Amino acid sequence: MAAAAARCAGGHGGGCFLLRRRLLAAATFLAAFGLGAAGLGAAGDAAAGRGRYPHHVMLRVEDVLPAPSSSSCDTPREHEHGASSSGTRMTIVHRHGPCSPLADAHGKPPSHDEILAADQNRVESIHHRVSTTATVRGKPKRRPSPSRRQQQPSAPAPAASLSSSTASLPASSGRALGTGNYVVTIGLGTPASRYTVVFDTGSDTTWVQCQPCVVVCYKQQEKLFDPARSSTYANVSCAAPACSDLYTRGCSGGHCLYSVQYGDGSYSIGFFAMDTLTLSSYDAVKGFRFGCGERNEGLFGEAAGLLGLGRGKTSLPVQTYDKYGGVFAHCLPARSSGTGSVSYTHLDVYKRQRQTTPMLTDNGPTFYYVGMTGIRVGGQLLSIPQSVFSTAGTIVDSGTVITRLPPAAYSSLRSAFASAMAARGYKKAPALSLLDTCYDFTGMSEVAIPKVSLLFQGGAYLDVNASGIMYAASLSQVCLGFAANEDDDDVGIVGNTQLKTFGVVYDIGKKTVGFSPGAC
């Protein structure tokens, strides 16, 4: 029957019509017993994904494959930077995709092993940071022992030409993060110059590389920001209250110094300054405080710096609270060759079918904590006690690639997902780095996979888009895009793979995080 189904996948003859009826009858019978359409072939899979089986979704395999180097950028008109009909709206793109302004600069993209290794560095750094700052159920979380994780290298002390003999700046902040993989374009200074920066909801301080470089600056696509060419630039005084907003700060000649360090050993050191930040061609933020980095080193993919959108005092949403009410939203595209958006006003597009969950601001600073309560696979609620999620808590993080779950939760997810895929007859494939549940989809353009839903406090849920359920290295190695944390006490992370196509709305004022399907 499978061979005949494959021959009829695009046919219209009477025999094919009868065969399709037999296929659907067989699939209905199997579904009644909680099974998939195992062995029904391409035609059966296609039928399963067209509304007849609401607990499965159709995955176009090309949506999860890396964009070929020859692919072009699909930029919808409504996502163009600064379109007046869209309010304050910016385009967000994958920094290694063809839409990225850095596409011609970064050369060969990193391998999947490199991407996942960098992602693990970020996750370990988040766990380390949370362990020193977060509280769950009102109790401080324990600090992990050095044996549990590889210690990250410390940023060097500032160069002598950057600081006076009396300057004091800690070498390491202890709040390291790996950098994210989506970028946006901002304007900085008067007149404004455009810069491509990493978009990161897990960081607070925005910074760019500045002239003059002291000792070293990494290579970037655009010219370095030159404070001398901006009529609105000013250093922040050491005595200014804004200087004390920095987690790691110092002083040189009366001017405030900042230092940020990331999980891969990258860092930026320089003067904390103020200037005009332009988010679109007509929307400027005057007196925006940012880091003017004169000593920078790391793997930033030739981006000019980083845009910090966390909850800390130096972040963009907090600094612009009076202007935007502490609200912003992003939508990450399904494919690396597509475009998404970041919005600060006119968020009506995200209201449709929005699911809202409380933002748990008492759990700790910077990160966007939410209360995860469960997981559904193929429409079935998994038997996971809520205490599994509440023990360590959960954050939503745009810079983490793969969602991390408590070990018991991931084990249950993997088991249910693998059972459903086995029932459909899909061939297993070798593991890909930290992804251990993989399949060979060679010769297939569409496959039916079980729906995965993440459940949150307040009744909110996120029905993960098909492109966010799987992570692909190639047609022969397409993997479940979730992974387990090392320890029950490690905070869970909803990563950007699972957030694709959703409008994610962060409202610091109302203390909510919302999910709107199909926003881009």
User: Dihedral sign, CA of 169, 172, 176, 180?
Assistant: positive
Pairing verdict, β 182-188 and 267-280: antiparallel
**Residue 89 binned pLDDT confidence (cut-offs 50, 70, 90):** confident
* DSSP per-residue codes, 240-283: SGGGGG-SSEEEETTEEEEEEE-TTS-EEEEEEEEEEEEEETTE
Pairing verdict, β 438-440 and 427-429: antiparallel
Asked if residue 333 lies in contact with residue 94, where contact means CB atoms within 8 angstroms, the answer is: yes
Q: Lowest-pLDDT range, 94-98, 112-116, 157-161, 368-372? A: 157-161
Average per-residue pLDDT in the chain?
80
45, 63, 119, 200: the catalytic one is 200
- Residue 118 CA to residue 116 CA, distance in Å, equals 5
At 215 the pLDDT is 80
At 363 the pLDDT is 87
Q: Lowest-pLDDT range, 134-148, 158-172, 302-316, 432-446? A: 158-172
Single pTM value for the model: 0.82
Q: Lowest-pLDDT range, 13-22, 50-59, 62-71? A: 13-22
Nearest to 308 by CA among 189, 190, 184, 164: 184
**60: which 2 tokens?**
């176009």
At 235 the pLDDT is 98
At 50 the pLDDT is 45
**462: which 2 tokens?**
């996120």
63 is catalytic: no
> Does 333 score more than 60 pLDDT?
yes
45, 397, 490, 507: the catalytic one is 397
Asked if residue 496 lies in contact with residue 115, where contact means CB atoms within 8 angstroms, the answer is: no
Asked if residue 201 lies in contact with residue 290, where contact means CB atoms within 8 angstroms, the answer is: no
397 is catalytic: yes
What pLDDT digit, counting tens, does each position of 286-295 carry? 999 999 999 9
Asked if residue 157 lies in contact with residue 169, where contact means CB atoms within 8 angstroms, the answer is: yes
**307: which 2 tokens?**
């845009």
Percentage with pLDDT > 90 across the chain? 53
- Per-residue exposure over 395-421, b if at least 16 CB sit within 10 Å of its own CB, e if not: bbbbbbbbbbbbebbbebbbebbbebb
> Does 52 score more than 60 pLDDT?
no
> Does 91 score more than 50 pLDDT?
yes
> Does 475 score more than 90 pLDDT?
yes
**Residue 251 binned pLDDT confidence (cut-offs 50, 70, 90):** very high
- Residue 184 CA to residue 146 CA, distance in Å, equals 36
**Residue 313 binned pLDDT confidence (cut-offs 50, 70, 90):** very high
Cα atoms in the 13 Å half-sphere on the side-chain side of 34: 7
- Residue 416 CA to residue 410 CA, distance in Å, equals 10
Task: Name the more confident of 82 and 312.
Answer: 312
**222: which 2 tokens?**
């655009």
- Residue 275 CA to residue 287 CA, distance in Å, equals 5
Asked if residue 109 lies in contact with residue 96, where contact means CB atoms within 8 angstroms, the answer is: yes
- Residue 154 CA to residue 266 CA, distance in Å, equals 9
**135: which 2 tokens?**
């509280």
Q: What is residue 438's three-state secondary structure?
A: strand
At 261 the pLDDT is 83
Q: Which domains does the chain have, with CATH numbers?
A: 167-341 (2.40.70.10), 353-517 (2.40.70.10)
